[in-house]
Amino acid sequence: MKRNTWQREAVRGALDANDGFVSAQALHSALHSTGSPIGLATVYRALADLADTGDADSLQSPEGESLYRACSTNDHHHHLICRNCGLTVEIEADAVETWAKDVAAKNGFTAAAHVVDVFGLCAACTATAAASAK
Amino acid sequence: MKRNTWQREAVRGALDANDGFVSAQALHSALHSTGSPIGLATVYRALADLADTGDADSLQSPEGESLYRACSTNDHHHHLICRNCGLTVEIEADAVETWAKDVAAKNGFTAAAHVVDVFGLCAACTATAAASAK
DNA sequence: ACCTTGCTGATAATGATTGTCAAAACCATT
DNA sequence: AATGGTTTTGACAATCATTATCAGCAAGGT
């Protein structure tokens, strides 16, 4: 049976409070800094659960960390992520969906899943970078 | 200056000899099993170099490992990877390229890079899976 | 209130990757 | 062929994220 614990709620809340993708470690630190005595292992478990139930989205940063984010919808979708500030925009990718399916089918592949994420610098960070580069 | 060492050649050779993506660890074991006394750290360094110069492609498996593959071209392209046997097909993705650029631009993002990879079961593995499921 | 059983959390364990640094190898030069 | 300045190597330690362990606590049904 699935139980309701304040820890699970805390993790969900911390995720919701965040705009972009966060690492499990960062989430744990954040919770600790607000005084929560939640354990690191529990954060990992809660995140895995949320990802399983579709309440959260997970992806791998190019550096190899697992990042998580509260999902506004549980439809399948992709992300545009600022590599500097972590700002995330959910994007529609119907074109990519069908393309992925096509390509897989053409090559005899089945059970196709895909990883499609775009990393870049958001407008704000671009401006900052340009300013500091001067 | 960049020097030519047999170790670098060995890594490149081992990559070329492989059809799919391989982890650095696997490559190291493979080299060892052929009698090469190459060090693990050196394999990592060689792979990083190859990836830098565009001679190899790297991606993160869903499990978080870094995988490498010899690249037949150094054009930008993507992959269709069998999650069972590691077979890899290089795919053209012009549609996705432009889509990624569009999406990024529309949201004010610059310096857009993207991670686009399709995982699935190749025809052979699909057949095997179906057979064993019976 | 009680009891069963899942959940928690401190810590150890794991596994991949990177840093360190002395010794060895490379390449141009003598 | 010997020399010298540098780069590269490789064994091992260090790091980092994540997972396993396991005893104690707590949630929910009865």
**Average pLDDT for residues A59-84, to the nearest whole number?**
77
pLDDT at B35: 86
Contact B111 A122 (CB under 8 A): no
Q: Which of A60, A80, A123 sits opposite B64 (nearest CB)?
A: A60
Query: Nearest to residue A66, comparing CAs of B60, B83, B79, B100?
Result: B60
Distance B2 CA to D7 C1' (A): 8
State chain B's mean pLDDT as an integer.
82
Contact A107 B80 (CB under 8 A): yes
Work out the pLDDT band at A44, boundaries 50, 70, 90.
very high
pLDDT value at A82 more than 90: no
Q: Which of A69-73, A106-110, B77-81 has the lowest mean pLDDT?
A: A69-73
pLDDT at B2: 76
Q: Is the CB of A134 under 7 A from strand D?
A: no
**pTM: predicted TM-score of the whole model, two decimal places:** 0.76
Q: Is the CB of A23 under 7 A from strand D?
A: yes
CA–CA distances in Å: residue B42 to residues B19, B21, B47, B53, B83? 22, 19, 8, 16, 27
B115 lies within 8 A of chain A by CB = yes
Rg (CA), chain B: 17
